[in-house]
Structures are given as structure tokens and as C-alpha cells.
């Protein structure tokens, strides 16, 4: 992956190219922005560009340095990732100890800390010392979608580079070109993904489409509806991930129905591909009922229904839906 191959982050990449061209490299960077928009990919491309044997300000992808970085075997380029939700002090210490020496092969040693906000307190403190007295020929890149969780003392020592949501048009193109999706499916996943390629790819998966389909069937079903809804409750309460996936889709469906019912524009709805079915469901359901359902879903998200287990929460939701449907 070189800068040229990263889509939708032209602004961030322009800044990085300029710092290389002007020889104004910072010793530490913070790449921040939403999940799944290419921050880590850009950090790796930056490491390559800083060390490429043939190109300046970008990576050729073919020289020994570029290939070693691609394969994760370059001795001077380290990518640190969280383990079990945490970056521990041991991992940070290993990196700091390695920084005593000059780089073995690279012009610039590059240390990328992905999800840097997952550093525990002692790891952050150890790391802060390194940022205060940065080693020679080293560029540190912190990658984070939650930079507010990083200590201010760490943030103040990093040059910030912000990454933005990727436009629907570009996500659609990527899903068609790289993931082989049909254009209509790609466009729909792109709309749902809220600017994140990572999310779009996950949304296009068959599992997620299955959840969406099941729920819609439960809502649209005529005589079988109560049965299907309680069936879903049983299935989706067993697994926390599935439970929140299901809850998410329920909430987008009811939000969309509310918009359609109040004459809102089609452009505002999330599930554009299903607008005909959602309109039909909307005809059978009252605005009051919709608001009640949406506020119940909100309260589950906010953890206000702690006395309910997942199965009970979905059963109550099913009951509310049955009551709301005339
Ligand atoms: Zn190269």
C-alpha cells in the first residue's frame, strides 16, 4: 500500500508529503479520525515513503525496504497493536529499549502504535518519557479513533493529522473494484457505513445481511409476525454482538419508518434499499408507537434497563412492536 493507493484521505496525505518535501518531520504524529477510514494503512505507507530506496515522498512498493515493511519483517519498522483490549507496559518497554540504538537499515525508524488509546496508564507514562526525549532518526505514529482518551501530556507532544469519513461514492467504488460486490449492494453498504470502509465491508457480509433480512421479515410478516419476532429474540439474545447488531437494525428501521411517515426525503433514510417495505410497515404503525419503541431501544443502549437480560429486553421490544402495529 502506497499513498497513491489510499482513497479518500487526500488532505492527510498532502500534509505528510509536504512534511517530507520540506524536511519538517515531526518526531511524533497522532493520526486521528473515525474507525475504518485508513489511518493505519496511511501510517504504514508513511513508514514506507520515509524509507523507500527509489521514491521520495511515496513508496515504490518494490524495493527491499518497501517489501520488508509490507511483510512486517523490517527490523526498524514496528507496528504495535493491542492484545486483549490493552497495550501493556511490557510491549512499550520492548520498543523503548530498541530505540537506544541507531536504526539498522532504515533512514527513519518508524514505530506505529495502533489504537494508542488502549495504552494502560503505566504504558502511557513510560511512553511519555520517550516523547519527551525522542531518540534520533525515529518517527512515532500514534493511531487513534478516540484521541480524547489519551493523556493531554501525550497529545501535546504529537503533531495531529486528522482523517475524515470517506464519501459514499468512493466507498462504493472500492467495494465494487476490490471486494467484487454488485454496484447496487455496494452502494447500499456504503450508505449504511457512515464513511467507514471497514464498516462497509462488514455490513456487506452475508451474516449482517441475514440479520437485516430476518428482522424485516419479522416486522413485515402478517399472520406470523409475533412468532417470528419472539424467535428472533431467542436467537439474538444468546450473543452480545448479535444482540447489539439486531438492536441497531431495529433502531434504523424504526427511525427510517418515522422519517418516511412524516414525509421526509428518501435521501435521509438509512435503509434505502428497503424503503418500499418500510413504507408499508409504516402504514400499519402509529407515530406514538414508533416513538415508544425508539425510546425503549435508546434506554437499552444507555444501560438503563440493567434489570433486564438480553432475552427479556428483546421480548419487551417484541411486545411493544406488536402493540404499536395496528
Ligand atoms: Zn520502495
Q: What is the pLDDT of residue 200?
A: 87
**C-alpha 52 – ligand 1 centre gap (Å):** 4
Mean pLDDT of 289-316: 85
Residues 6+ apart with CB under 8 A from 251: 294, 297, 298
Ligand 1 center–CA 108 separation, angstroms: 14
Strands 109-113 and 28-32: unpaired
- Expressed in angstroms and rounded, the spacing between residue 314 Cα and the centre of ligand 1 is 54
What is the rounded CA–CA span in Å between residue 200 and residue 8?
Answer: 14
Query: What is the Å distance from ligand 1's center to 9 Cα?
Result: 21
How many angstroms separate the CA atoms of 57 and 44, rounded? 13
How many Å lie between the centroid of ligand 1 and the Cα of residue 163? 24
Categorize the per-residue pLDDT at 225 as very low, low, confident or very high, splitting at 50, 70 and 90: low
CA of 105 to the centre of ligand 1 (A): 13
pLDDT in tens, 232-264: 888 888 888 788 888 888 888 999 999 999 888
pLDDT > 70 fraction of the chain, expressed in percent and rounded: 97
How many A from CA of 324 to the centre of ligand 1?
62
Taking the centre of ligand 1 as the mean of its atom positions, its distance from the CA of residue 58, in whole angstroms, is 8
Taking the C-alpha atoms of 178, 183, 188 and 189 in order, what is their torsion angle to the nearest 10 degrees? -10
pLDDT in tens, 152-180: 999 999 999 999 999 999 999 988 988 88
**C-alpha of residue 103 to centroid of ligand 1, in Å:** 17
Tell me the residues surrounding ligand 1 (ion) with CB < 5 Å: 52, 60, 63, 66
Say if residue 224's pLDDT is above 80.
no
Query: How many angstroms separate the alpha carbon of residue 110 from the centre of ligand 1?
Result: 15
Query: Separation of 37 CA from ligand 1 center, angstroms?
Result: 24
* d(CA 2, ligand 1 centre) in Å: 9
More confident residue, 60 or 302: 60
What is the average per-residue pLDDT within 270-287?
A: 87
Compute the distance from residue 53 Cα to the ligand 1 centre, in Å.
Answer: 5
pLDDT at 74: 96
Residues 6+ apart with CB under 8 A from 177: none
What pLDDT is attached to residue 265?
Answer: 85
Residue 39, pLDDT score? 96
Is the pLDDT at 223 greater than 60, yes or no? no
**Ligand 1: centre distance to CA 49 (Å):** 7
Which residue is associated with the grid cell 455490513? 203
DSSP 3-state assignment of 158? coil
Dist. CA 183 → ligand 1 center (Å): 34
Domains and CATH numbers, the chain: 3-162 (3.40.50.300), 205-324 (1.20.272)
pLDDT at 326: 63
- Residue 158 CA to residue 119 CA, distance in Å, equals 16
Instruction: Give the range among 56-65, 196-205, 303-312 with minimum mean pLDDT.
Output: 303-312
CA of 240 to the centre of ligand 1 (A): 44
Sheet holding 138-144, edge to edge: 77-80, 109-113, 138-144, 28-32, 159-162
Catalogue the long-range contacts made by 96-102 (C-beta closer than 8 Å, 24 or more residues apart): 96/126, 96/127, 96/129, 96/130, 99/130, 99/135, 99/138, 100/135, 102/136, 102/137
Distance 29 CA to ligand 1 centre (A): 22
Amino acid at each position: 500500500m502506497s499513498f497513491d493507493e489510499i482513497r479518500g484521505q487526500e488532505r492527510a496525505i498532502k500534509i505528510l508529503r509536504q512534511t517530507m518535501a520540506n524536511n519538517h518531520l515531526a518526531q511524533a504524529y497522532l493520526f486521528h479520525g473515525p474507525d475504518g477510514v485508513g489511518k493505519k494503512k496511511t501510517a504504514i505507507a508513511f513508514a514506507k515513503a520515509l524509507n523507500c530506496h527509489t521514491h521520495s515522498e511515496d513508496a515504490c512498493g518494490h524495493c527491499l525496504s518497501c517489501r520488508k515493511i509490507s511483510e512486517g519483517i523490517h527490523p526498524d519498522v514496528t507496528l504495535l497493536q493491542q492484545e486483549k483490549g490493552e497495550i501493556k507496559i511490557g510491549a512499550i518497554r520492548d520498543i523503548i529499549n530498541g530505540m537506544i540504538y541507531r536504526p539498522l537499515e532504515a533512514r527513519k525508524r518508524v514505530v506505529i502504535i495502533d489504537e494508542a488509546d488502549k495504552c494502560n496508564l503505566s504504558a502511557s507514562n513510560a511512553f511519555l518519557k520517550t516523547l519527551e526525549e525522542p531518540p534520533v532518526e525515529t518517527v512515532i505514529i500514534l493511531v487513534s479513533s478516540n484521541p480524547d482518551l489519551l493523556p493531554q501530556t501525550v497529545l501535546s507532544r504529537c503533531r495531529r493529522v486528522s482523517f475524515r469519513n470517506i464519501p459514499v461514492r468512493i466507498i462504493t467504488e472500492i467495494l465494487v473494484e476490490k471486494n467484487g460486490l454488485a454496484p447496487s449492494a455496494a452502494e447500499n453498504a456504503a450508505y449504511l457505513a457512515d464513511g467507514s470502509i471497514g464498516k462497509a465491508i462488514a455490513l456487506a457480509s452475508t451474516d449482517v445481511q441475514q440479520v437485516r433480512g430476518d428482522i424485516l421479515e419479522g416486522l413485515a410478516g402478517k399472520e406470523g409476525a409475533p412468532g417470528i419476532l419472539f424467535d428472533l429474540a431467542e436467537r439474538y439474545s444468546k450473543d452480545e454482538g448479535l444482540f447489539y447488531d439486531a438492536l441497531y437494525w431495529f433502531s434504523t428501521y424504526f427511525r427510517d419508518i418515522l422519517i418516511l411517515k412524516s414525509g421526509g426525503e428518501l435521501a435521509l433514510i438509512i435503509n434505502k434499499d428497503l424503503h418500499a417495505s418500510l413504507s408499508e410497515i409504516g402504514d400499519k404503525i402509529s407515530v406514538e408507537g414508533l416513538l415508544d419503541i425508539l425510546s425503549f431501544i435508546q434506554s437499552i443502549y444507555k444501560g438503563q434497563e440493567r434489570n433486564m437480560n438480553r432475552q427479556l429486553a428483546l421480548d419487551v421490544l417484541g411486545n411493544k412492536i406488536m402493540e404499536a402495529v395496528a
